[in-house]
Amino acid sequence: MGRAAAYSREFRAAFFRVLRQSGTVTEAASVMGVKRSTAAMWVLEAGGMTAASHGGSGVRLSLAERDEIAVQHAQGRSARQIARALGRAPSTISRELRAGSSGRGYRSGTAQHRAWMRARRPKSGKLASNDRLREYVQTGLLQKRSPEQISLRLRRAFPNESEMRVSHETIYQALFVQGRGELRRELAACLRTGRTLRKPQGRATTRASKIPEMVMIADRPAEVADRAVPGHWEGDLIMGAGNRSAIGTLVERSTGYLMLLHLPGAHGAIEVRDQMIAAIGRMPAEVAKSITWDQGIEMIRHREITVATGVQIYFCDPHAPWQRGSNENTNGLLRQYFPKGTDLSRHTTAELQFVQDEINDRPRKRLDAMTPAEALKQLLSQAPETGVATTT
């Protein structure tokens, strides 16, 4: 094709759609088959804003519409003509041209950024506007409870009151973000770390999980967070040298009872699925309710496990091992038997059973010096007879 002006506005609009997906002028120019210099000139004319769109509500103008407004306005079309082409009111286009224009004329990228900044109105935080919720959170912090424990406890204490809900991240932000005035700053000293500064645990951008149909930990029933209710397990893999071998671990939350999964050959999704189904089959029905796992790719067949056993699997948030605290602590104990950097595939089923029995025979402070095996036995003796095999 010839000069930049020879390209149709539809072609240029398509270029900007590709640009927003690819993120680079060079790649978008290559996809559309135009010179990079030509593409760079289009971006410059649009205001130099190459970042992805901040989105739109459907009522507000989108970046694609602003691209079209810029092209048609540069061609000398009136606000009424542009409005007819976009299916918008003429007053909307006139207002947009006034608000988005600068000394260099109307630039779609600049206009989009200005609109987004105008939409960022300061909003009153949930803790600032709900005295009852704020008082509950402050009392919990003074009792040395973590924000996550407070958030979980709210769901249990107020199961039918949606206004009495707040995430742990919101509590952290209310403590650490200056100027919000939602929680007393000195309460930060009540946190376990005692820190007065914090960054959010979440990342600015996260990759989509490769595991389909995940049910996240936030959707677990409130009873799972309370260790008084048995039958909810936490699971993971402990890895050997070079991540070439692994042993699966399952820990029951209320008793700390451990089950080990033998994975001598491989530890992919199929092997983990088969061992999980076998292990759940050895559990008494009273203690086979749910399992919480991290987002390891070995659980990509989790739906097959649930279909085969009826046990729901929940997934932790990325990079949040504390959401499986019982399992993480037990994995630390297991490293006495299975040191890091060793080949875990060499251990036999009998060796794993020996370690499992020894761990389950250790007295625990939180069980009032009972062992996990004793706690599980006591639990099962109090349950109705089901005729289901034991876990040993």
pLDDT of residue 356: 94
**Alpha-carbon separation of residue 202 from 207, 311, 319 (angstroms):** 12, 29, 9
**Cβ distance 251 to 287 under 8 Å?**
no
Q: Six-digit token pair at 367?
A: 């069980």
Largest alpha-carbon pair distance within the chain? 85
- Give this prediction's pTM: 0.48
pLDDT of residue 189: 60
CA distance 125 to 140: 19
CA distance 267 to 239: 10
Q: Six-digit token pair at 28?
A: 């978008």
**Alpha-carbon separation of residue 169 from 148, 165, 166, 195, 201 (angstroms):** 8, 12, 8, 15, 8
312 bridge partner residues? 290
**Pairing state between β 258-261 and 232-239:** unpaired
For the chain, give every domain's residue range: 9-46, 63-120, 131-190, 217-382
pLDDT of residue 148: 83
CA distance 382 to 378: 6
How many residues in the chain? 392
pLDDT of residue 232: 93
- Give me the CATH topology for the region 217-382: Nucleotidyltransferase; domain 5 (3.30.420)
**Pairing state between β 101-102 and 105-106:** antiparallel
364 — alpha (psi -120 to 50), left (phi > 0) or beta?
Answer: beta
Q: Which residue positions in the chain have pLDDT lower than 70?
A: 1-6, 10, 20-23, 45-59, 117-124, 176-209, 383-392
pLDDT of residue 349: 94
CA distance 346 to 263: 10
pLDDT of residue 387: 39
CA distance 242 to 271: 19
pLDDT of residue 145: 77
Residue 307 φ then ψ, to 5°: -65, -40
CA distance 250 to 339: 18
**Pairing state between β 312-315 and 232-239:** unpaired
